[in-house]
Structure 1
Amino acid sequence: MRTDPRPTLIAAARQFYKMGWMIGTAGNLSARMPDGSFWITASGRPKSQLTTDDFVLMTLDTCRGKVCLAPTQSHPQKRPSAETSIHAAIYRLFPDAQACYHVHSIENNLVSRFIIGDALPLPSLEMLKGLGVWEENPQVAIPIFANHLEVSRIADEICARFKATIPQVPALLVRDHGVTVWASSLESASNYLEVAEYIFRYMVASQKIGMKLG
């Protein structure tokens, strides 16, 4: 049986909090278990202060999450993250995905407004190799989804689009909301997130330089 992933998720949340990506209670992290269930951060918990009691175990139900088991009987009031349906969608769409991380940074929100369409072209940086893109002068775009108050609508749209077209990179943006990455391990999910945020910072910095030169 796989080791409990919650301590690793707690350490990642604290790191991302320090980087300004999980301010207050924002963002959510999850990890899949061998039986297909997954641990996800509970709603409304400060990401700098998580404990193993601040997670809810979920099972998959179509493209949405359904509560399977609360982490402790003493905390029956704990609710899973509002974005649980997005994590469930990713796990159903990508059987190899073992971790799914969602954060809110200033940069990922800014770049989500750089284009009106539903995909954001990424610069041909060497750092794209960190997202699994090993091509010379790659033409890569990250999918963008509309932000709906009812998060299950976002999950449904992710399911519909990704069933028709597999994304080029293991990441997506929700406009004015945040970035979500997924990977075959918790370590890879952290790496993907750091690479994606580096690229977003580069894009914001390039825009600023372009405005000054213009």
Structure 2
Amino acid sequence: MTTPSLTDPRLELINTARSFYQQGWMAGTAGNLSIRLADGSFWITASGRSKGELLLSDFVLINTSDQIEASSTDIKPSAETAIHQILYSLFPEAQACYHIHSIESNLVAHFTSEDYLSLPPLEMLKGLGIYEDNPRCLIPIFANHLQVSRIAAEIQYRFTNNPPQIPALLIRNHGVTVWASSPTAARNHIELIEYIFRYMVAARSLGI
């Protein structure tokens, strides 16, 4: 088991979770964050823990065989661990995966009945890797299922056949998930995509 230190990656996740919690993006015990280690294993938030008060003991280590490697007996990994596993498998460059339950992400997922949502051509898209004039950027939407393994399987199938334009996805009535090459980049991705969602909600209320 990893010995806690000033460089322990869980400290990064604790700080990020607290920030997201304070913004109302991880209310109660909602949401999950993970960070991948050099050997391919990853730490993920435990199920049922307040994201505003995480401790080093509130994480589970998943090894490269997708098995729990380090955990106390009274905690379980996030119910959405399977989604993190699939995203790390599909995108080897990803080193962090963040999932939040914001009001805006749930609202915009209902702006369309399609399995994707068209994002406005805002400057913020550059931070998500879109460098085009007046880009047509689509974020994929997935149906929510009680069995998370079904969501993960659908993500694997769709992304294998049609890779996403940006490192983000929506789950209807659930929230948004991003992945990135570092924890800092993943945090930026969440903040950028949430800015775009807030713009979309505001624009619709104003009839723009």
TM-score category, normalised to shorter length: over 0.9
Alignment partner for residue 175 of structure 2, among 153, 175, 178? 178
Specify the alignment match of 1:103 in structure 2.
Answer: 100
Amino acid in structure 2 at the alignment position of 1:17: Y
**Structure 1 CA distance for aligned equivalents of residues 67 and 116 of structure 2:** 30
Specify the alignment match of 1:127 in structure 2.
Answer: 124
**Structure 1 CA distance for aligned equivalents of residues 64 and 137 of structure 2:** 30
2:197 is the alignment partner of 1:193: no
Alignment partner for residue 15 of structure 1, among 9, 12, 19? 19
**Structure 1 CA distance for aligned equivalents of residues 53 and 33 of structure 2:** 14
Amino acid in structure 1 at the alignment position of 2:127: G
Query: Could you say what secondary structure the match of 2:106 adopts?
Result: helix
**Structure 2 CA distance for aligned equivalents of residues 118 and 174 of structure 1:** 10
Query: Could you say what secondary structure the match of 2:60 adopts?
Result: strand
**Structure 1 CA distance for aligned equivalents of residues 52 and 194 of structure 2:** 19
Amino acid in structure 2 at the alignment position of 1:151: V
Query: Could you say what secondary structure the match of 1:143 adopts?
Result: strand
Are the aligned partners of 1:101 and 1:180 in contact in 2 as well (CA < 8 Å)?
A: yes
**Structure 1 CA distance for aligned equivalents of residues 203 and 144 of structure 2:** 25
CA-CA distance at 1:112 after TM superposition: 0.6
Alignment partner for residue 78 of structure 1, among 39, 52, 75? 75
CA-CA distance at 1:67 after TM superposition: 1.6
**Structure 2 CA distance for aligned equivalents of residues 76 and 14 of structure 1:** 24
Are the aligned partners of 1:100 and 1:189 in contact in 2 as well (CA < 8 Å)?
A: yes
Q: Within 5 Å, which residues of 2 pair with 1:153-164?
A: 153-164=150-161
CA-CA distance at 1:60 after TM superposition: 4.4
CA-CA distance at 1:69 after TM superposition: 2.0
Q: Which runs of 5+ in 1 are unaligned?
A: none
Q: State, as a whole percentage, how many aligned pairs show the same letter.
A: 61
Query: Could you say what secondary structure the match of 1:53 adopts?
Result: helix
TM-score (norm 2): 0.95
The CA RMSD over aligned residues, in Å, is 1.5
2:113 is the alignment partner of 1:112: no
TM-score (norm 1): 0.92
Cα deviations by residue, 1:132-151 (Å, 9 ceiling, x for unpaired): 11111001000000000000
CA-CA distance at 1:77 after TM superposition: 1.8
Q: Which runs of 5+ in 2 are unaligned?
A: none
Given the superposition, is the C-alpha separation of residues 154 and 60 from structure 1 closer, same or farther in structure 2, using an over 3 Å criterion? Answer: farther
Amino acid in structure 1 at the alignment position of 2:195: Y
**Structure 1 CA distance for aligned equivalents of residues 68 and 206 of structure 2:** 47
Q: What count of residue pairs does the alignment treat as equivalent?
A: 204
